[in-house]
Amino acid sequence: MSDPYTLVLAFVLGLLAGRLFEAWPVQRAWLRLKGAMPHRCPSCGHWCRRDKTRFVQHRTAGWIFICPDCYDEQYHPFSKEKSQ
């Protein structure tokens, strides 16, 4: 037979590990709802928040999310102002 303290310790560690792994999908869903899930711009490869990107129609790729810098570069190339 195993020591009862070892069994209790294994139970507690298993319970804590289960709670940690259980919380990750909830956190990921919350980040998606807030728009804070990181997204990679297909044009330049820059990582930014989803709520900061622009949803634009590209000629060949269809509707895509791109970062503000790529948006200014592609859709307003001669403007001196940058989007925030």
State the total domains in the chain. 2
Instruction: Express each pLDDT in 3-27 by its tens digit.
Output: 888 889 999 998 888 777 677 777 7
Residue 28 sits in the same domain as residue 43: no
Q: What is the DSSP string of 29-79?
A: HHHHHHT-SEEE-TTT--EEEGGGSEEEEETTTEEEEE-HHHHHHHH-TT-
Residue 3 sits in the same domain as residue 29: yes
Burial 28-53 (b: 16+ CB within 10 A, else e): eeeeeeeeeeebebebeeeebeeeeb
Structural domain harbouring 70: 38-75
Check pLDDT > 70 for residue 1.
no
What's the confidence (pLDDT) of residue 12? 92
What's the confidence (pLDDT) of residue 66? 92
Instruction: Express each pLDDT in 23-68 by its tens digit.
Output: 777 777 777 777 777 889 988 999 988 888 899 988 888 899 999 9
